[in-house]
Structure 1
């Protein structure tokens, strides 16, 4: 990407997608569009997107559509969907992906591109818990992908309107760990929107930090109904969180990740996030599918590859699947 970024699409209009859109709307000269559907599409078309965060109020009116074909090819696409929606959204996005389009997946958990860009064979680089048939890598070849790790929390108040009570941070990196012009261009664009943006030559290091944050909080929040503050500070829950933390740290270290915190500091930071519900708990309460494959099962798969058992993590994931299945059966009953 050698020209200025002017055509940007956000695919997904949930809490993070709307927060990002509301911030990017302030960047001069940007043609901003969003993919949405149903009531959310109607709400954004009528009233735009609105974010309340630590800096105040932010509003924008992106072009919104359910069909990317009418938006034309994009220079930059942020995918802000749940992991299980990736195959469908990537199939939909094909008309918007040109030869030089950069795609930034903002998705929780272990990404399907984890082993891409590092010289592994296709079979060795494919995670069975995420992309067993290789559909994601066919729909989005690795040269389009710019890695991202997003530390943003947001909650939807109503379609198109979200609130965030914590600072925003996005770390970007090429999946082959090399510097690039497009990496710096995307970083500058995000920074221009008032979001702290960092570039790294080792994107998997902050990725593991986010994986650890997700895995220690999301599944157990469904089991317990607890907020982040309760998970990391309550005397009944904190020991369970710490056990999952220790197991995941060991797995991360086995894959060469450099984690820049110690466990007590991590627990304190988690408690300091306040009375915030995890995204998985919000999904569970709304009756939506849970991101257990990327947040939990992929980490267990990585651990299995190197002979690590992760017993507390496995038990917690099993309880979460059981509780989610009960909820599904209850809602499916006549």
Structure 2
């Protein structure tokens, strides 16, 4: 029997609320660190999740004060990458000697070169951590890597809709199969989410990075859904170019990514009329996760002298689009 743990989730967006609802439904109490209108909604209405397993309405303890939430056994960080500096500065009161911190964040993680060894051991990802703030904010011995395959949307705060299966892959940065890793996998699995532990977490990271990089920036440029990006011939060609450039970069860094391009494109088109998370952020005028999803991959490619001309141009266009949104009614 899985013991009851002190679990906190930082960030009450689509992924954070999905994870909270599933965990509470499994009998694990959850605390959320949130703020503003989202915090008020959590306290008043709780979380409503509609997914393939039904309708879920749960109540959680929520606060904007990490001291109030207290020390935790397990912390899931479910925020966008641009929010990480502020988030990591907030959570120290929640981190004890044995606390496990699981960043559930898109793109290349800031801890990528931690624990793996090799000639880049300990180096920061400069696109994510220019001044070393992230590296200083949290002792990386607390971190377990995570790759999340959950597509979800929030039509309104703390109300989540998800129409695809949930999957989370977890792994130690040093590739060990530790007892705490197995406990984490068990907690997630008991919450009704398919969970896998791995001794090669970077392989899974690259699979998700490829999914994000082939879809998110181009969706901002075009406004296209996953079905259109991976299905329409004129967009599919651009997606294929980004796919192959990113596969070369992953291989150069020693990752084993088992992707059949044709099957990958078919699966992407089969996701339906889903708007990527970056396109949703663009629609709402929020910062785009281009540093983690795009710039960091270009940085890793430069380490290995792998050219990524198509990907680089799409990222540049997405950055321009994000900085110059089309006026309403134009």
* Structure 2 counterpart of 1:295: 293
1:245 aligns with 2:243: yes
* Structure 2 counterpart of 1:18: 17
1:165 aligns with 2:163: yes
* Structure 2 counterpart of 1:262: 260
1:40 aligns with 2:46: no
Residues 187 and 199 in structure 1, CA contact (< 8 A), matched pair in contact too: yes
User: What aligned pairs does 1:133-212 form with structure 2 within 5 A after superposition?
Assistant: 133-212=131-210
In structure 2, the gaps of 5 or more residues are none
* Structure 2 counterpart of 1:89: 87
Write the distance in 2 (CA, Å) between the matches of 1:58 and 1:68: 26
* Structure 2 counterpart of 1:52: 50
Write the distance in 2 (CA, Å) between the matches of 1:55 and 1:239: 36
Q: CA deviation at 1:123?
A: 7.9
Structure 1 residues 279 and 157, CA, compared in 2 at 3 Å: closer, same or farther? same
Q: CA deviation at 1:128?
A: 0.9
Write the distance in 1 (CA, Å) between the matches of 2:45 and 2:245: 46
Residues 52 and 164 in structure 2, CA contact (< 8 A), matched pair in contact too: yes
Write the distance in 2 (CA, Å) between the matches of 1:124 and 1:41: 36
Secondary structure of 2:248's match?
Answer: helix
Residues 5 and 76 in structure 1, CA contact (< 8 A), matched pair in contact too: no
Q: Deviations over 1:126-148 (max 9, x none)?
A: 11101122211211111000000
Q: CA deviation at 1:122?
A: 8.1
Write the distance in 1 (CA, Å) between the matches of 2:9 and 2:254: 32
Residues 167 and 193 in structure 2, CA contact (< 8 A), matched pair in contact too: yes
1:278 aligns with 2:276: yes
Residues 113 and 121 in structure 2, CA contact (< 8 A), matched pair in contact too: no
Secondary structure of 1:81's match?
Answer: coil
* Structure 1 counterpart of 2:234: 236
* Structure 2 counterpart of 1:63: 61
Residues 5 and 185 in structure 1, CA contact (< 8 A), matched pair in contact too: no
Secondary structure of 2:224's match?
Answer: coil
Q: CA deviation at 1:303?
A: 0.4
Q: Paired residue for 1:324, among 322, 325, 328?
A: 322
Aligned-CA RMSD value: 1.5
Secondary structure of 1:327's match?
Answer: coil
TM-score normalised over the length of structure 2: 0.96
In structure 1, the gaps of 5 or more residues are none
Q: CA deviation at 1:150?
A: 0.2
Q: Paired residue for 1:106, among 99, 104, 107?
A: 104
Write the distance in 2 (CA, Å) between the matches of 1:100 and 1:181: 12
Residues 145 and 201 in structure 2, CA contact (< 8 A), matched pair in contact too: yes
Q: CA deviation at 1:64?
A: 0.5
Moved over 6 A (4+): none
Write the distance in 2 (CA, Å) between the matches of 1:20 and 1:161: 13
Q: Report how many aligned residue pairs link the two structures.
A: 327
* Structure 1 counterpart of 2:304: 306
Q: CA deviation at 1:120?
A: 5.4
Structure 1 residues 303 and 122, CA, compared in 2 at 3 Å: closer, same or farther? closer
Q: CA deviation at 1:31?
A: 2.8
Write the distance in 2 (CA, Å) between the matches of 1:87 and 1:48: 27
